[in-house]
Amino acid sequence: MAGSALALCEGFGPQTPRDISNAYGRNGVRFDFAPPSSEMNLCNIHTHTNAEHMGPGFSVYAGPGEHGGFKCSGAEDLTAAELTRPGDPLPASGHGNDPAGDGHGDSNAQVVPAATGHGTDSGATGRFAGVNPGDTIEVHWVYSTCPVDPGPGLGSCLSSGCSNPQLRVESQVFLVVNDPNALDFMDFAYRSTMRNGLHQPRALPTGTGNPVVFQGSTTGPKYDAETCSPLQVTWSVRPRCARLNIATLDEWAAQGNVFEENHSHGVRQLVTAPELLAPIQ
């Protein structure tokens, strides 16, 4: 994890990701908090495999580098069926719950079919890459004050006439499972929804605690404590994990989406140096 022993970047505003349970920070750069997401345009949705942030529900360290980050608690308790992608055969030897204690997992477990109820089955060719059942993902809904349409990458949040918008990211961490009773990603996707003339997702997740709101930056593996992001972002990170049905994430890829997202991204390592963190109010 990034620490103060590194040659920290200088002259930048507060950075992200962070431990949302630790409010301490002494970065002196201040900027106005962005408006509520309902008053901004959704410009991008993307995911990271493993949580970039650390929080009460996602504090299991997954290691360094862009494939590190943090995992949700509870993955070790998943059944063999919950850990098997729709359409794949159930493993002969279980590595989830093993009620019989015989090393073969839950004998009552069944593989859930790939059908999701939205009219298009994902299938192997439409799978969302870089994520498997049992993985943790952090989903980012990115908003801009620019008059822009949703699209691929952060560039969709800017325009030639609006190059310095206020930015907000709504974040939710999910434990990805094969379970039709888990949350449906399509409920949180963008499907040309407009409210009050603004692009919006169908909904944002609820029931995972009050979001922790703070000032930070953009994330992603190209940044670290030595190479800082120059962009200023208002973050809103929910503190607990939710279970997400992987079939619906596959469906998002299979149907195509305006963001051209078909795989999950790597993580930026946790920022721990107080000089790079804003205090959480």
Contacts of 138 (CB under 8 A, 6+ apart): 47, 48, 50, 51, 52, 53, 58, 69, 171, 172, 173, 174, 267
Q: What is the pLDDT of residue 126?
A: 81
**Pair type for strands 212-216 and 233-237:** antiparallel
Q: Which residue matches tokens 């944002």?
A: 204
The proportion of the chain whose per-residue pLDDT surpasses 90, expressed as a percent, equals: 84
Start-to-end CA span in the chain (Å)? 24
Q: Where are the domains of the chain?
A: 37-75+123-276
pLDDT (tens digit per residue) in 180-196: 999 999 999 999 999 99
**Pair type for strands 167-177 and 233-237:** parallel
Q: What is the pLDDT of residue 96?
A: 46
Q: What is the pLDDT of residue 249?
A: 98
pLDDT (tens digit per residue) in 18-38: 999 999 999 999 999 999 999
Q: What is the pLDDT of residue 272?
A: 98
Q: How confident is the model at residue 237 (pLDDT cuts 50, 70, 90)?
A: very high
> Looking at the whole model, is its pTM more than 0.85?
yes
Bridge partner residues of 243 (DSSP) = 175
Q: What is the pLDDT of residue 125?
A: 61
d(CA 206, CA 203): 9
pLDDT (tens digit per residue) in 83-126: 999 999 988 754 444 444 444 444 344 444 443 333 333 334 68
Q: What is the pLDDT of residue 199?
A: 99
Q: Is the pLDDT of residue 61 over 50?
A: yes
Average pLDDT, the chain: 90
Q: How confident is the model at residue 4 (pLDDT cuts 50, 70, 90)?
A: very low
Contacts of 102 (CB under 8 A, 6+ apart): none
**Pair type for strands 242-245 and 41-49:** unpaired
Say if residue 258 is exposed, middle or buried (CB neighbours under 10 Å; 0-12, 13-18, 19+). middle
pLDDT (tens digit per residue) in 125-173: 689 999 999 999 999 999 999 999 999 999 999 999 999 999 999 999 9
CB 231 within 8 A of CB 46: no
For 73-81, which contacts have Cβ atoms below 8 Å and span 24 or more sequence positions? 73/241, 74/175, 74/241, 75/134, 75/135, 75/136, 75/175, 78/133, 78/134, 78/177, 79/105, 79/106, 79/109, 80/105, 80/106, 80/109, 81/106, 81/109, 81/110, 81/111, 81/112, 81/178
Rg (CA), the chain: 19
Q: What is the pLDDT of residue 91?
A: 80
Task: Write out the two tokens for 279.
Answer: 């205090």
